[in-house]
Amino acid sequence: MSIELFEFTSVHTMSKLVELECEPVLQVIKSDKMMEFDENTYAKAKNTSFHNGVIEVKVLSELLPNAPDFAKGFIGIAFRISEDDSSFESFYIRPTNGRVEDAVRKNRGTQYFSYPNYTFEYFRDRGITDFESPADIGLGEWITIKAVIEDQKATFYVNNEDTPTLSVDNLLLGAETRGAIGLFVDVGTQGFFKELKITSYD
């Protein structure tokens, strides 16, 4: 669906409809929690209550002029967002890691995390690598991302690949959680979103 058909609430971000490549897209830029990672920084789609189903959207990220050296173009989706934005699940990508030669960075092309307790920092501090994976992605290009959610299991796809890029068998907020959907950005990213499709199973 066209991004224009949705209404959004900006949560610790600035978001607005703009024209890019002669079509309407949603621009989202982090405006608070500037140096904090894996936070509730997204444009939240109004009137969405999502439990199980499919979320698909095309994303494009650019680094802001003042982006710190560690910025990676973080962009993705949040889902099952609580009404007060105190918890949610998320998949996002790091486009600058997509085609680097460094094997460690390359394996960090995609990320799952669960807010507020289970951030990428939590996983890395404990040597948990199950929630990251590589992807052939880059800055300044449209990338299709899709999450298929079924109770406590989720699969994440990049650029219409048949095989999941990342699979999670134990969504950390549990199987029964329900909530809104958001378009997520993080440190140093100017994010653009279009063609958001939400298919609910229940």
11-51 confidence digits (pLDDT tens)? 999 999 999 989 999 999 999 998 899 999 999 999 999 99
The whole-angstrom separation of Cα 19 and Cα 115 is 31
Q: How many domains, in total, are found in the chain?
A: 1
CATH number, domain containing residue 88: 2.60.120.560
Beta strand pairing status for 153-158 and 8-11? unpaired
142: burial class by Cβ within 10 Å (0-12, 13-18, 19+)? middle
DSSP conformational letter for 159: T
Beta carbons of 98 and 73 less than 8 angstroms apart: no
Provide the domain limits for residue 132: 3-200
The whole-angstrom separation of Cα 28 and Cα 42 is 7
Is 1's pLDDT higher than 80? no
pTM of the model: 0.96
pLDDT band at 109 (very low <50, low <70, confident <90, very high): very high
pLDDT band at 144 (very low <50, low <70, confident <90, very high): very high
